[in-house]
Amino acid sequence: MPKTVFVLNGPNLNLLGKRQPEIYGHETMADVEAMCRETAAEFGFEIRYHQSNAEHEIIEWIHEAREVAAAIVMNPAAYTHTSVAILDALNAFDGPVFEVHISNVHKREAFRHHSYVSLRADGVIAGFGTEGYVLALRKVGKLLAAGKA
Ligand code: CA2
């Protein structure tokens, strides 16, 4: 049976492609989902793709991932910099976690330089645009093929 990987997106990412293209590019959330599905198909795993503006909903998905997912790829958006609750939920997940940021957060305001999620993430990608999701999923695909996820 194909393994399942959760791709989770935090607040305001539903606006992707609709505002601030100079920071976040022109692709929409639907475009990113399609890219993720294409990458998953290449590597033979399934994805569950979610976006929410509500912290509790993201936490519920991480809890669900504990039961069914081999890995989590996550852009926590602004919750990256604020949410101990999301860190705690991720700490209860056993598989690999990859944190993705579309923009290079280290080139931006100082408050974006700290990530609670990075305390748990096995890898972090920032500044590669939406391609960062594909790079993270490729890594997951390789780990799955090697029996390491
Ligand atoms: O670079 C990233 O992917 C971020 O996670 C995006 C978050 C930001 O708070 C993080 O510091 C870095 C913001 C997501 C909001 O996305 C929008 C997209 C288009 C228009 C407005 C917001």
38-48 pLDDT tens trace? 999 999 999 99
User: What CATH number should be reported for the domain holding residue 93?
Assistant: 3.40.50.9100
Q: Is the pLDDT of residue 78 over 90?
A: yes
User: How many domains does the chain contain in total?
Assistant: 1
**Inter-residue contact 99 to 125 (CB < 8 Å):** yes
DSSP, res 18: T
The three-class DSSP label of residue 96 is: coil
Hey, which of 14, 24, 128 would you mutate to test ligand 1's pocket, going by the most ligand atoms within 8 Å of its Cβ?
A: 24
Q: Which domain holds residue 32?
A: 4-145
Is residue 49 among the annotated active site residues?
no
87-145 pLDDT tens trace = 999 999 999 999 999 999 999 999 999 999 999 999 999 999 999 999 999 999 999 99
pTM over 0.95: yes
pLDDT of the residue at 19: 86
- Selection from 7, 19, 22 nearest residue 129 by Cα: 22
Ligand 1 atom closest to the CA of 112, numbered from 1: 11
Q: Which of the residues 24, 79, 116, 133 is marked catalytic?
A: 24
